[in-house]
Amino acid sequence: MSTDETVHEAPTRRDTIKYGGAVVGGGLLAGCTGESSEPTTEEDTATDESYSVTISPVGTIEFEEVPNRILTYNKHYVDMAVACGHGEAIEAMGDQFYIGYYEQLPGVEFDPSTRVTVTHDDKETIYQVDPDLILLDPTWYRVYSEYFDFDEDDIEEITQNVAPYFGNRFSRAHTDTGIEDYEYYTAWELYAKVAQVFGETERIQALKRVRDELVAHVESNLPPEAERPTVGLVAMNDWAEFSPYKIDNEGFGVSHYRPLDVRDVFAESDRTYESDGGTYDLEAMLELDPDVLIHNFGTGGFDDRYQSMLELEDDPVGSELSAVQNDRLYGGGDSMQGPIYNLFQIEMAAKQIYPEQFGEFPSYNDDGTYDISESDQLFSRKRVADIINGEF
């Protein structure tokens, strides 16, 4: 973090966006759990062209106009902006953003290489970019304070001098934040909040209808429970050490798996990401022996940990895993998913877990893209692209 005096002499934040409402960390609304209803704007208000949006834990943000200079680190907010037709507003973002889904959508373009790359706690870059909104949950800094050179004073400084924060991160897995009344949103409730910021509620509702139709199709074609494979969702750390994730949890990070009603080998485990960690070695994995082993964050096939998992076939213990023997090792979707990611990842998961019902998921091309013939697609790419491009 820079200590240059010019940081403190930067211009005050834009007058078009005002921070009003609860102090950072104060939850406002009662929790919601369903994902079936349309996104709504019940708690938001507008006067003339001004409007306000409320999100836990930040509070209420008042807008004089739609923000057009946005800084974020988390990729799911980038995906939300693109889905709302406002990808051009993203000025700065984290690295390693997968665009393979966008390349399947005619007329939808987003180039991460043209954006400023920012890290979690890069105050100097925040001032340089001078955004009018920061799509990020400031609670992140508090919960992981040992990793960040960023504290409450820094949050307050940026809020007052640059732009307000707007985000909710811990709905990803409903992990504890230490904040009383922190509200957890479903994936599409969170998408609706960001859509309200962009004034694009109707657009996100149109995408939600695509999602609901996709889920209905998947759910109506699932095999009988007794015929479903067992599934292990993991991230491989060091060689032959696995960090497991519960598929059956309320977080948006697994919302692409939830409609598939899978038989989760970690369903009863207390050693998962959602329960403060814990790992499994190869011998422990062999005891569970899932039929399907999916690497979280393996989208595009580039992740080094996923590539290491593919080498299990050369290990004397790893080669005994049923998933290895039956060629059922997959690079799964990204838990930090926005609306576009969510649609593609529901389709991806359905094909990876139930290939007989939905067709096999193809191998990745060298550039990380993949090809599914139009007849084998579970939703219309053109329809989604039209919505993103404002035709709905």
> pLDDT digits over 83-100, tens only?
999 999 999 999 999 999
Prediction pTM value? 0.89
Domain count, the chain: 2
CB neighbourhood size of 279 (10 A): 17
204 and 267 part of one domain: no
Same domain, 11 and 127: yes
Q: Indicate whether 383 belongs to any domain.
A: no
pLDDT of residue 296: 93
Q: Kindly state whether residues 192 and 163 are assigned to the same domain.
A: yes
Answer yes or no: do 196 and 297 share one domain.
no
Q: How confident is the model at residue 278 (pLDDT cuts 50, 70, 90)?
A: confident
Is 228 found in the same domain as 183?
no
The two tokens of residue 114 are: 């043209």
Cβ atoms 176, 114 nearer than 8 A: no
Q: Is residue 391 part of a domain?
A: no
95: domain CATH number is 3.40.50.1980
- pLDDT tens digit string along 329-378? 999 999 999 999 999 999 999 999 999 999 999 999 999 999 999 999 99
Residue range of the domain that includes 203: 5-209
Rounded CA separation 139/10 (Å)? 24
Residues 205 and 78 in one domain: yes
**Can you tell me the distance from the alpha carbon of 91 to that of 6, in angstroms, rounded to the nearest whole number?**
21
215 belongs to a structural domain? no
Establish if 375 belongs to a structural domain: no
380 is a domain residue: no
The phi, psi pair for 133, rounded to 5°, reads -160, 140
* Same-domain status, 172 and 245: no
- Measured between alpha carbons, how far apart are the two ends of the chain, in Å? 45
pLDDT at 39: 52
Q: Please answer whether residues 198 and 86 qualify as being in contact, where contact means their C-beta atoms are separated by less than 8 angstroms.
A: yes
